[in-house]
Each structure stands twice: as structure tokens, then as C-alpha cells.
Structure 1
Amino acid sequence: MVSMIGLLGGIILLIVLTMKGMNLLLAAPFSAFIVAIFSQLPIFPQLAEEGEASFLTNYMAGFSGFIMSWYLMFLFGAIFGKLMEDSGAADSVSKWIIDKIGMKQAALAVVLACAVLTYGGVSLFVVAFSVYPMALSLFKEANLPRRFIPAALAFGSTTFTMTSAGSPEIQNWIPIEFLGTSPYAGWEVSLLVAIFMMVFGYWWLKKMLTRAVKNGEKFEARDNDPALKRTSLPNPILSMIPLIIVLVISYIFHDMLAQSALILALLGGCIATYILSRTYFQNVWKAVSEGTVGALIAIANTSAVVGFGGVAKATPAFESAVQFMTDIPGSPLIGGALAVSVIAGLTGSASGGQSIALPLLAPHYLDIGVVPEELHRVVAISSGSIDSLPHGGYVVTTIRAIAGEEHKDAYPAFGALTVIVPILGVILAVTLFSIF
């Protein structure tokens, strides 16, 4: 009981500290320390018996282990995104899609622009930064309330694209290491789920926008609104080629290299972007530098949360919680989906939730005969559901830092599209896998 109080208290503390703006590199180890104290874990390895868990050992093992496994993916992904941004290629693709869809479908244009960039391997954060100025301009022309922009950005980036089969985003590649699958695992069901999430989510977004407009809401300009960054952009068709190259290389080499194929694919995307858009770069080496720094910050924040999980999973309370979820009656996929989504939600990180849960869950489910491809797809989709609770890093960045909105205004729509819609997608995926 004391261990459970400590585990829940540590999780709540992590959420509260993050919501208040404390850096995760401080909030996560401090919260993990509270968990360790309540579970009577030794603080230092020198105070533990041989082979016994300790706060410092478990935290740093989780922290450094995630960096060791995923640093190069984060690095090349961030650099690729920054090169697409600095060259104007990301803007070109987004503007082309928005021009084709038109002002009357402002929200759909924003969603599709984000979806194409995300499925092409551009970092979620870079997508949000790149598309936001155009989304702002489009919402202004259509006179739509701006508080829905973060929801449109996130819906196009983190639902039917990020966790779908073939996606080069890391959330679709982490399960490969533990399940021996490919990024295309369960693609038939993934396609149906992605279509459902896109259609239902967009219908819901339109309904919320229509209701808000009927209630008298409209676009309100601000003095600090950014303008579109440039007028001269590379050809949009050429700008899409690096995105296609990322997908093609990852497809060709995934059987041979598993998750390492993503490194090669993103590197190929970087080279292609430089070659095709080199005359449009503002400062290519600055973009590379900013991408490198961004990768370090992103992986450090995620690793901090994974370190928290490394301490949490050493507690008796965590073992009891996992046992409860894996013993849920019905399809084993239900327990896997629930465990991953809960851990991702508590940590505010889809990739962090997978990295904590899969080392524990994968052997258990594989031993009882669960089809690895089915588990891969369910885990991927479920990780992208309640990871978008208000304290999530992407949530805070998109709503506050990029869009300049308050949680109370923007999060209801944001949460509906990035939490509830993926949960329905998980339910549909489990149902389809159970039927077929």
C-alpha cells in the first residue's frame, strides 16, 4: 500500500511540476526519488545488495539506455526537419496543399499539410512550427476561432499518421526492437483504423468549429502574430521527393536493418533535401546546428521520463499494476493497449511509454502466443492516445509556445482529437484483430 501511494504520488507530482513549467530534466528525477523513498529502494548502488535495485542505478539505466538506442534516430530526424524548414521545402509542401484545398476547407488543409509532413518523417515539433504561420493566415481569412489551430495541427500530426503502418516516426519503430516486427506490421488493420480516425476526427473538428462560429466566435488578430516567412519557395513537387525517399529507404531496408533502417532513411532525406533545395537555404549549417540541439533536448526530455519509469518499474506497486492489466479478461491485446497507454499518459510521452512498457510486456505476450504484428500495431496506436494529457511535452509546446493559447481555451478540442479519437482507434484495432 505504501509503495502504491508513493508511485501514484510520484506520478501526480511529475504531472503537476510539468504543468507548472519545471524542466523535465529536474522534475522527472525528483519525482522518481519520491517513488524510491516510499518503496524503500536504496538511493545509491553502494547501499544496495548485489543485484538489488536502487534509485540511482535504475534511473540512469533507463535514461542512458534510451539515448543509446535512439539517439541517431532523434538526431537525423531533427536535422531532416530543420533542413526542410530552413530550405522552405516544408513551407512549400504545406502551401501547395493549402492552395489546393482552399479557404473554405481551412481546417482540412491544415490537417492534411501536417499529415503529409509527418508521414514523410519530419519531426512533429518541426511540423507544428512550419505549418502554424500558414494555418494562422488561413484561419484568419476564413474568420475561424484561432483556439482550434493547435487541435488541427496535432490531429494531423499525432493520430492517423504518427502511429500508422509505414510511418517513419519513432512511435512506430520502437516496437520493432522488442517484437521483431517491421514498421508495416498489421498494415491492413492500420489502414482501416487510420481512415476511421481521419474521417471521424475531422467530422468532430468541423462540428466543434461550426458550433463555435454559431456562438459568435471569430478570429481575433494579435500584434505578435507571425507572418509567412518567405515569398520564394522551392517547387512543391521537388520538395516532396525527400519525404518519399525516407519512406522508400525505410521500406527497402527494414527487413535487413530493423529499426536501424530509419537512420539510413532519415540520412537519405537530409541529403536529398540539401541537393534539391540547396539554392533556397537561408543558413544550412545553422539549421544543422539547431537540429542537433533540438535532438539533444528532445531525447534528453524523453530519457528523463524513461528514467522515471526505470525507478517506477522496480517498485512492488508497479509490478502489481502491470499484473492487473495483463490479467484483464478477453483478448491479451486489451491488456497490452491499456498498459502502454496508461504509462504513456502518466509520463506524457508516447515513445517513453513504449520504452518503459515493452521490455516488460513483450516477453509475456509473446510467450502466450500473441501475434507480434498485432501487438505492434495496437501498442503503437495506444501509445498515441492519453500521452496527450495536458502535461505532455508536445501538448504544452504546441498550445503555449507555438500558438500562444491558454489550456482552458485550446485543450478541450485538442484533447478530444488527440486522446479520445485514438482511444476509439485502439478499440477498433483490437476488435478487427479479434475478428480476422
Structure 2
Amino acid sequence: MLAYIGLFGSLALLVYLTMRGVNLLISAPLTALIAAVTNGLAFFPQTANDDQANFLTSYMNGFTSFVGSWYLMFMAGAIFGKVMEDTGAADSVSKWIVEKIGVKYATFAVVAAAAVLTYGGVSVFIVAFSVYPMAISLFKQANFPRRFIPAALGLGSVTFTMTSAGSPEIQNWIPIEYLHTTPYAGWEVSIVIAVFMAVGGALWLNWMIKRAVKKGEVFIERSTDPVVDETRKLPSPILSLVPLLVVLLISFIFHDSLGTSALIVALTSGCIMAYLVSFKYSKSVSATLAAGAMGAVVAIANTAAVVGFGGVVKATPSFVATVDLMTNIPGNPLIGGAIAIAVIAGLTGSASGGQTIAMPLLAPHYIDMGVNTEALHRTIAIASGSLDSLPHGGYVVTTINSVCNEKHKDAYLPFGALTVIIPIIGTIIAILLFSIGM
């Protein structure tokens, strides 16, 4: 019993501390240590038996493996965002959008930009870096509260695009290996769910913003924001879109052959293109590159701290028992699979992590039962993108804290509404549609 209390209690404490604004580099290892101690894990590798997991190795393996896999992508993404800001490209595109469709649709423009990049193959972790400069400019012109920017980025990145049929994101591809399906599995239902999440989420977000504005909330500038000079000449909005299109095109072309490494090529090419078309509008190349690199270090450190927590959690006996329980839920296999994936993704703070852990156990069991693998694929994919967005999730921390520089207590409520509640409802609708034979 103590082991389970430690497992779920440490998670609850991490969520609480995150919401209170405690630095993740402190709260993540601290709560991971609680989970380790209550589950009987040794602290050091030297004090552990040969076949026994220990806190230090489990935490640091999770931390360093994430940094090793993602640092260059984070750096390229952060620099690209800064380059779009420095050259004036972000301001140019945002002003063009405001002129063409009006400031009241600024939110939808941010969601659409994030969605296009995500469905085009740019990792959800990187999309926020790329779109944020344009988002901050749009929200400022519309005078919308900036605490809703993470929600707009999340809606466009980790809901209807990340888990839809045909998406190149890893959350749509992991089930293929175990279920022998295709990226387009359950596409008919996927279209319905994607439309529901996109439209429903956008309308809900717009309602929340209008409600906040009526209460007197406005856009509050910060000293760290890009300085907007109204007299500054800006590049053509059409040319300013070219770097984004280059990132999208190169990522799409090389996604299958290079995987996530395609992002390094795509984002670097985007930076080069931004300077080629807008160099005369830039202010300081060296300062821009340095700021982007430093931003990437902060972002990846915060995210890796949470991944380290997940590494310790996965090593605990109570987590292993929980996974066994979740993967053997009786009744409708679609319901059981959805719950199992969602809960495990919530515990690890990662949609792909939840799938990777659960799929080797779920797939053989459900295939033997004769479950429709396409329905299972789509249900699991959608469900994985729900509880992974609890306050401690890696993407959540990166987007709210590191990219947007917001506090969880201000930004998470709208963010969670769109990235947790909307996907949960979408999962339920998908199960109902598959159950009636759609």
C-alpha cells in the first residue's frame, strides 16, 4: 500500500508544486525521490543489487536520454523562432493576418499555424518555438490576455493534428508496429473527431478569451517581449511566410528517411531562408543566435527534469503492477485500451511514453480477442493525447514555462481544458462511433 501511495502521491505533489511555480529542476527530482523511497528502490547504483533499479541511475538515464535525443532540435527550434522575431517576419505575417481577417480571429490564426506545422511533420515540442513570435504579436494587436497563448499553441499541436489519421507525429505511428495497421487507420472516425476537437476547441478558447476580456483582462507587455517599433520597415508578408513553408516542406519530405533528425535540417534551412529574404531587416544576428541557444537550454532542462521523474516512476514495482492492472481491464477492449494508455501517459507525462510502455502488452492480448485493429489504433492514439497534458507533462512544461514564460497558475486552466478535456471527449466519441460500426 505504501508503494502505491508513494507512486500516486509523488505525482500529485509534482502537479501541486508545478502549479505553485516551484522550479522543476528542484521539484521533479524531489518527488521522484519520494516515489523511489516508498517503493524500496536503492538510492545509488553502488547500494543496489545487480538486478535492482536505483533512483540515481533511473532519474539520470531519463534526463540525459531526453537531452541527448532532443537538444539539437530544441536549439534549432528556439533559434528559428528568434530569427523570425529578429528579421521582423513574425510581425509582418501577424500584421498581414490582422489586416486580412481582423484581430478578432487572431486566436484562430495561431491555432491554424501550429496545426499546419504539426501535421506537416514538425515535432510538437518544436512547433511552439516557431509559432510563438507570431502569436505574441497577434495577441498584442488584438489586446488579448497573453496567458491564453499556450492554450492556442496546445490546441493546434497536441489535439486534432497530433493523433489524427495520416499525422506524421510519433503518437500516430507507434501503434503501427504492434497492430500492423497504417497511419490512416480508422480515418473515417478520425475525421469526425478531428473536426470536433478543432472546432469545439477553437470555439471554447474564443469563449474563454472573450470572458476574460469582459472582466477587464488585457495584454500586458513585458521587458522581455520583442520591442515593436511602429516606424520599423518590415519584410513582405509573403516572403516572411517562405521560411515557415521551407520548414514544413523539408520536414515533410525527409520525415520518413531521417525521422526526427529531419527537424534539424528543416529548421536550419528555415533560419537560412529567413535571413536570405529578410536579412536587411534584422537587428543583431549574433545576439539572436545566442538568445535562441540559451532559451533552448532552459527549455530542455525543464522538460528533461520531468522525463527523469518518469524514468524513476517506470522503475518502481507499483508502476509495473499498475501497468499490469491497466492492461487487463475487462469489458469493451476499446474502453480498456483507452483507459490504460491515458493513465500510463499521465503517470509518465508523455503520450508516446504511455504508448511505448503499454502497446507491447495490449496489442497481443486484444489481437487474440479479434479486436478491430484499426479502431484500436485510432482510439489509443487519441486517448494518449489526453492525460499526457496534465500540469507535469513534458510538452506542457516546455510550452507554458519555457517558450511562453507564463506561470502554470495563470495559463494551465485554459490549456488543460483544451488539451485534456477535449481529447477525453474525443476519445469517448470515437469509441461510440467505432462501437456502432462506423
- What amino acid is the match of 1:416? A
Match of 2:357 in 1: 360
* Contact preservation (8 Å) 1:250, 1:265: yes
Q: Distance in 2 between matches of 1:252 and 1:187?
A: 22
Which residue in the other structure is 1:238 paired with? 239
CA gap 1:391/1:291 in 2 versus in 1, 3 angstroms: same
The amino acid that maps onto 1:124 is A
- Distance apart, 1:311 and its partner CA: 1.3
- Aligned equivalent of 2:261: 260
In structure 1, distance between residues paired with 2:152 and 2:292: 24
Offset, 1:55: 1.0
Cα displacement string for residues 114-147 of structure 1 (whole angstroms, at most 9, x for unaligned residues): 545666645315534541243132146xxxx777
Are residues 272 and 399 of structure 1, via their aligned partners in 2, closer, same or farther at CA, if it must alter by over 3 Å? closer
Of the structure 1 ranges 73-82 and 400-409, higher mean CA displacement relative to structure 2 is found in 400-409
Relative distance call for 1:262 and 1:24 in structure 2 (3 A) is: same
Alpha carbons of structure 1 residues 178 and 366: separation in structure 2 relative to 1, 3 Å: closer
Q: Secondary structure at the match of 2:42?
A: coil
Q: Which residue of 2 aligns with 1:127?
A: 131
List aligned pairs for 1:249-398, cutoff 5 A.
Answer: 249-329=250-330, 332=333, 334-346=335-347, 349=349, 352-355=350-353, 357-368=354-365, 369=367, 381-390=382-391
CA shift for structure 1 position 343: 4.5
> How has the CA–CA distance of structure 1 residues 343 and 221 changed in structure 2, closer, same or farther, with 3 Å as cutoff?
same
Report the Cα offset of residue 200 of structure 1.
1.3
Return the alpha-carbon distance in structure 1 between the equivalents of residues 192 and 264 of structure 2: 28
Asked whether the equivalents of residues 174 and 259 of structure 1 are also in contact (C-alpha less than 8 Å), the reply is: no
Letter in 2 for 1:239: S
Change in Cα spacing, 1:72 to 1:203, as seen in structure 2 (3 Å) is: same
Give the deviation of 1:222 after TM superposition. 5.6
Q: Distance in 2 between matches of 1:73 and 1:373?
A: 32
Q: TM-score, normalised by structure 2?
A: 0.79
CA distance in 1, matches of 2:69, 2:288: 24
Q: Distance in 2 between matches of 1:426 and 1:294?
A: 35
Aligned counterpart, 2:17 = 17
Distance 1:277 1:183 in 2: 37
Alignment: residue pair count: 426
How far residue 75 of structure 1 moved from its aligned partner, in angstroms, is 2.5
AA at the equivalent of 1:27: S
**TM-score, scaled relative to structure 1:** 0.80
Give the corresponding residue for 1:3.
Answer: 3
Q: CA deviation at 1:169?
A: 7.0
Q: 3-state SS of the aligned residue for 1:313?
A: helix
User: Do the aligned residues in 1 keep the contact of 2:113 with 2:156 (CA within 8 Å)?
Assistant: yes
What is the distance in 2 between the residues matched to 1:264 and 1:406?
32
Question: Which stretch shows the higher mean deviation, 193-202 or 126-135?
Answer: 126-135
Q: Is the 8 A contact 1:388 1:394 kept in 2?
A: yes
TM-superposition CA deviations, 1:67-100 (whole Å, max 9, x none):
2222332222222222222222233223322322
Tell me which residue corresponds to 1:76: 76
Matched residue, 1:136? 140
- Residue 95 of structure 1: aligned partner: 95
- In structure 2, how many angstroms separate the alpha carbons of the residues matched to 1:236 and 1:367? 52
> 2:196 aligns to what?
196
Structure 1 residues 396 and 133, CA gap change in structure 2 (3 angstroms) = farther
- Native 8 Å contact 1:354 1:379 kept in 2: no
Secondary structure of 1:304 counterpart:
helix
- Please say if residues 132 and 153 of structure 1, whose CA atoms lie closer than 8 Å, have aligned partners that are also in contact: no
Q: What secondary structure sits across from 1:132 in the alignment?
A: helix
1:217 maps to which of 189, 210, 215: 215
- Kindly provide the amino acid, as one letter, of the partner of residue 362 in structure 1: M
Instruction: Return closer, same or farther for 1:221/1:165 CA change in 2, 3 Å cut-off.
Output: same
Structure-2 change in CA distance of 1:77 and 1:159 (3 Å): same
* Cα distance in 2 between the residues matched to 1:365 and 1:176: 13
Report if the CA contact (8 A) 1:129-1:402 is conserved: no
Identity of aligned residues (%): 57
Q: 1:245 to 1:301 in 2, by over 3 A?
A: same
Q: Which moved more, 1:358-367 or 1:176-185?
A: 176-185
State the match for 2:28 in structure 1: 28
Aligned position for 2:228: 229
- How far is 1:40 from its partner? 0.9
Equivalents in 1 of 2:91, 2:183: separation in Å?
A: 27
Deviation at 1:198, TM superposition (A): 1.5
Which segment drifts farther, 366-375 or 254-263?
366-375
Task: Please state how far the C-alpha of 1:66 moved relative to its aligned partner.
Answer: 1.9
Amino acid of the residue matched to residue 131 of structure 1?
A
- Counterpart CA distance in 2 for 1:125 and 1:56 is 31
Q: Deviations along 1:332-371, whole A, 9 cap, x unmatched?
A: 5545543443344456x5xx4533x344223224444489
